[in-house]
Amino acid sequence: MAAPLDTVDAIRASFVTREQSASDLVEAALARIAGANGVLGAILTVATDRARARAASLDRAADRDAVGPLAGVPVAIKDNICTAGIRTTAGSRILDGFVPPYDATAVARLERAGAIIVGKTNCDEFAMGSSNEHSAYGPVRNPWDQSRTPGGSSGGSAAAVAARLVPVALGSDTGGSVRQPAGFCGCVGVRPTYGRVSRSGLIAFASSLDQVGVLALTARDAARVLAVVAGADALDSTAATLSVPDWPAALTGDIRGCRVGVARHLLDDGVSREVREATLAAIEVMRARGAVVSDVTLAHAHLSIPVYYLIATAEASSNLARYDGVRYGFRAADARDLRAMYERTRDEGFGAEVKRRIMLGTFVLSAGYREAYYVK
């Protein structure tokens, strides 16, 4: 098995100085995936042909330093983010065999920066789940302990980074689906502010909550990737028009005077002793390095889960209505009429968790209940 990949800066430097070619870097990543993915289940589709063609193109560049800030870096993309010519299933049978004709904006920006797409990562179906056990293509296993979950729904991306299959990966976060698997797998996960990264090409779960995020081995790697994918986009009217700061340059390590709010009341119920102790230890490290630590109270935090489940499921029931067997993806065979085709396609194509959320969302939007739940 090939040696583990290093950080983004080290990989780019090895490519720019011609110590390694992009083809060398891609073959190392493909070897890592071949050696570990059978156990982990982190990668659903290996983009071998696209990765090799892209690497060969980069190797022909006369000035490698001009290729971009991610020159030669292999990356993986969550399977609910569209990639032209590469199967994109969102972890669902209903999209089995779907091949998008275009790249998501975030994917296109990665490639313009010199990155190389090597695979699509496993995820909970339509990003609905917190354990990566709800994929139609099998679970993802935590690389640190294969009897445990990597978290979800971006568990495939987190596991791929933690196992050193790739140094960075894109995920999506609707209610914690980048942050939670990053925590479970011991890597860095960043869910940007809504609108900071274009959602064009991200298969919708809950449109007002979904956001493309980054998983990486280090904060600096995450900052470099975020600086590439962030920014305004004519294809997404919700993308912020704010300028993109130089986040990597801000990572000096000096946090003196930085204000850190700690919601200690959220560490009480439902938090294991080990997690609580690790969190409190991290707070003390920040305090020792000069940060100003203050306790804060989030008075409405107890309402966040019920509000999330109302908004997210309502939007999911609307967004997933398009999967009916007519335009793309799976279609049930031998249906006697159009209605039966709709019913059987959705019954056979969607998994249990997706069906539960569609039904809950339809309920809270239905006549007689919309005012009592959704509008409230």
Residue 281 has pLDDT above 50, yes or no: yes
**375 vs 244 pLDDT, higher one:** 244
pLDDT at residue 4 in the model: 58
Q: pLDDT tens, 27-82?
A: 999 999 999 999 999 999 999 999 999 999 999 999 999 999 999 999 999 999 99
State yes or no: pLDDT of 2 exceeds 80: no
Q: What is the pLDDT of residues 186-236, one digit of tens each?
A: 999 999 999 999 999 999 999 999 999 999 999 999 999 999 999 999 999
**116-130, 201-215, 327-341: which has the minimum mean pLDDT?**
327-341
Three-state secondary-structure class, residue 313: helix
Task: Encode 5-31: b = buried (16+ Cβ within 10 Å), e = exposed.
Answer: bebbbebbbbbbeeebbbbbbbbbbbe
Give CA–CA dist 4/16, Å, rounded.
19
Q: Residue 78 catalytic?
A: yes
pLDDT of residue 1: 44
- Number of H helices and E strands in the chain, helices first, is 12, 8
Comparing CA positions, the residue from 340, 305, 251, 262 lying closest to residue 130 is 305
- Set 172, 177, 200, 317: catalytic member: 177
Cα gap 201→77, rounded to integer Å: 12
Measured CA to CA, the distance from residue 272 to residue 74 in angstroms comes to 35
Is there a contact between 314 and 376 (Cβ–Cβ < 8 Å)?
Answer: no
In contact, 190 and 212? CB cutoff 8 Å = no
Residue 153 falls in the annotated catalytic set: yes
For residues 131 and 33, what is the distance between their CA atoms, to the nearest angstrom? 21
End-to-end CA distance of the chain: 55
Omega of the bond prior to 23 within 30 degrees of 0, cis? no
Query: What's the DSSP call for residue 305?
Result: H
Six-digit token string for 48: 């071998």
Angle at 206 between CA 203 and CA 212, to 5 degrees: 55
Q: Do residues 299 and 322 lie in contact, with contact meaning Cβ atoms separated by under 8 Å?
A: no
Q: What is the mean pLDDT of residues 171-194?
A: 97
Average pLDDT in the chain: 95
Contacts of 268 (CB under 8 A, 6+ apart): none
Report d(CA 88, CA 77) in Å as an integer: 10
* Position 114 pLDDT exceeds 90: yes
User: How far is residue 332's CA from residue 34's CA, in Å, rounded to a whole number?
Assistant: 33
Q: Is the pLDDT assigned to residue 3 strictly greater than 90?
A: no
Residue 205: φ, ψ to 5°: -110, -70
Number of residues that make up the chain:
376
- Position 327 confidence tier, pLDDT thresholds 50, 70, 90: confident
Distance CA 93, CA 87 (A): 12
Q: What is the pLDDT of residue 276?
A: 94
Helix (H, G, I), strand (E, B) or coil at 298: coil
- Confidence class of residue 376 from pLDDT cuts 50, 70 and 90? confident
78, 120, 135, 317: which is the annotated catalytic residue? 78
Q: Which of 1-15, 38-52, 55-69, 328-342 has the lowest mean pLDDT?
A: 1-15
User: Is 200 a residue of the active site?
Assistant: no
Indicate the range of 108-117, 292-301, 315-324, 326-335 predicted with least confidence: 326-335
Q: How confident is the model at residue 5, as a pLDDT?
A: 63
Given 153, 154, 172, 200, the catalytic residue: 153
pLDDT > 70: what percent of the chain?
99
Give the burial string for 334-367 (b: 16+ CB within 10 Å, else e).
eeeeeeebbebbbeebbbebbeebbebbbbbbee
Contact 121, 156 (CB under 8 A): yes
Q: How confident is the model at residue 268 (pLDDT cuts 50, 70, 90)?
A: confident
Cα dihedral sign, 186-176-265-258: positive
Is residue 43 classed exposed, middle or buried when 0-12, 13-18 and 19+ CB atoms within 10 A define those classes? buried
Give the pLDDT score at 283. 97
pLDDT of 368 above 90 = no
CB atoms within 10 A of CB 219: 14
